[in-house]
């Protein structure tokens, strides 16, 4: 059975259909890329999956949970994490605190224990700090551990954004343009991180990316969106040959 299934999802804002009858099926452990021109509805689809938008029509399910009308924090609880396109970190606190914030649902202790910082509170904090340190190690963020996120360079903040999503220990990771605006070197690093996430953690990844070179290289399957509709889907090499895709990207012959 598919891990995530998006069935016939339509999302309308007034008279405009941002998504129009979209079907997506994701199997565990896959790397799925969603590509398409600007305004095709890629981020809208991610917003529907993560609960920030609710589809006007259709149904989204993840491992037997119905996500169609669930709120973002409920969906996070099911094991879906997301890195935002326009960095949405907690600017006023350190990298470490940002990642500890992602452990919120794992930190189980009472307010009484927390107010004296003793017993369960102290134990859970240390346990979860260890998990967070693993992620810091994994994403190579050691030099920035205690730095304020607001003061970090763009490329590092993008990495913190992914690290924070990883700290949730998700089963499905949604990455919205994690490489946008990065240098070639930073992009290569990020690709390596994504491949490591798949290999070491077995996390399913849905990736939105404009760099077709990266997409064609690393994806298991690709969905191409245009004007809110899936115009092509399949293996990267098949999609690249698809006439509908070529038309969407470079325009028709006449």
Partner 1 sequence: MRNPWTRTGNYKTSYAQDTTIFATYSEQASLVVFLVGMLVLPRFLVRGDMQILDLILIYALAVLGLNIITGYAGLINIGHAAFMGVGAYTAALVAPHLPFWAVLPVSGLVAAMAGAVVGIPALRIKHLYLAIATLAFQLIFEWAVGHSPALEQGGAMAMPRVVFLGYKVGFKNHHYFWYYVTFVVLVLMAFAFRNLLRTRFGRSLVAVRDNDRAADAMGMDPGRTKVFAFALGAFYAGVAGALYAYWSRAVVIEDYSLMISIKFLAMAIVGGLGTLVGSFFGPAFLELLDINMETFSYAIKEIYNPPGVDVGSAIRPLAFGLAIVLFLIFEPRGLANWWRLLRSYFRNWPFKY
Q: DSSP states of 150-175 as a string?
A: GGS-HHHHHHHHHHHHHHT--SEEEE
Among 2, 25, 107, 246, which residue sits at the site for partner 1 (rule: CB under 8 A)? Answer: 107
* 5, 67 Cβ separation under 8 angstroms: no
DSSP 8-class letter at 97: H
Q: Which residue, 113 or 212, is less far from partner 1 as judged by CB?
A: 113
Q: How far apart are CA 122 and CA 36, in angstroms?
A: 47
Check binding of 38 to partner 1 (CB under 8 A). Answer: no
Q: DSSP states of 190-253 as a string?
A: HHHHHHHIIIII--EEEEE-S-HHHHHHH-SEEEEEETTEEEEEE-HHHHHH-HHHHHHHH---
Check binding of 133 to partner 1 (CB under 8 A). Answer: yes
Among 158, 159, 164, 187, which residue sits at the site for partner 1 (rule: CB under 8 A)? Answer: 164
Report the site for partner 1 in 63-92 (rule: CB under 8 A): 71-73, 76-77, 81-82, 84, 88-92
Among 16, 38, 115, 184, which residue sits at the site for partner 1 (rule: CB under 8 A)? Answer: 115
Burial state string for 155-166 with b = 16 or more CB within 10 A and e = fewer than 16: bbbbbbbbbbbb
Q: Which residue, 77 or 202, is less far from partner 1 as judged by CB?
A: 77
- Least distance to partner 1, CB of residue 30, Å: 22
- Least distance to partner 1, CB of residue 64, Å: 19
Sort 80 into a burial class: Cβ within 10 Å, 0-12 / 13-18 / 19+.
buried
**Interface with partner 1: number of residues (CB under 8 A):** 40
Check binding of 147 to partner 1 (CB under 8 A). Answer: no
Q: 230-237: which pairs have CB atoms within 8 A and are 24 or more residues apart?
A: 230/22, 230/23, 230/24, 231/36, 236/33
Check binding of 119 to partner 1 (CB under 8 A). Answer: no
- Least distance to partner 1, CB of residue 188, Å: 27
Check binding of 169 to partner 1 (CB under 8 A). Answer: no
Binding region for partner 1 (CB under 8 A):
50-52, 71-73, 76-77, 81-82, 84, 88-93, 97, 100-105, 107, 109, 111, 114-117, 121-122, 125-126, 129-130, 133, 164, 168
């Amino acid at each position: 059975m598919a891990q995530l299934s998006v069935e016939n999802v339509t999302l309308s804002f007034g008279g405009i259909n941002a998504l129009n009858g979209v079907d997506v099926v994701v199997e565990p452990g896959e790397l799925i890329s969603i590509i398409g021109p600007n305004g095709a509805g890629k981020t809208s689809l991610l917003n529907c999956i993560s609960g920030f938008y609710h589809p006007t029509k259709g149904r989204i399910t993840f491992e037997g949970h119905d996500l169609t009308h669930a709120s973002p924090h409920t969906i996070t609880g099911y094991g879906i994490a997301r890195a935002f396109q326009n960095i949405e970190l907690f600017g006023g606190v350190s990298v470490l605190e940002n990642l500890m914030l992602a452990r919120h649902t794992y930190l189980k202790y009472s307010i009484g224990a927390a107010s004296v910082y003793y017993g369960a509170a102290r134990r859970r904090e240390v346990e979860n700090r260890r998990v967070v340190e693993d992620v810091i190690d994994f994403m190579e963020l050691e030099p920035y551990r205690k730095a304020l996120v607001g003061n970090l360079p763009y490329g590092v903040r993008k990495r913190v954004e992914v690290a924070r999503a990883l700290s949730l220990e998700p089963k499905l990771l949604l990455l919205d343009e994690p490489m946008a605006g990065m240098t070639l070197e930073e992009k290569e690093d990020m690709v390596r991180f994504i491949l490591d996430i798949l290999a070491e953690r077995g996390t399913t990844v849905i990736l939105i990316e404009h760099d077709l070179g990266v997409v064609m290289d690393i994806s298991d399957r690709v969905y191409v969106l245009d004007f809110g509709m899936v115009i092509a889907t399949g293996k990267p090499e098949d999609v690249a040959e698809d006439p509908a895709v070529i038309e969407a990207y470079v325009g028709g012959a006449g």
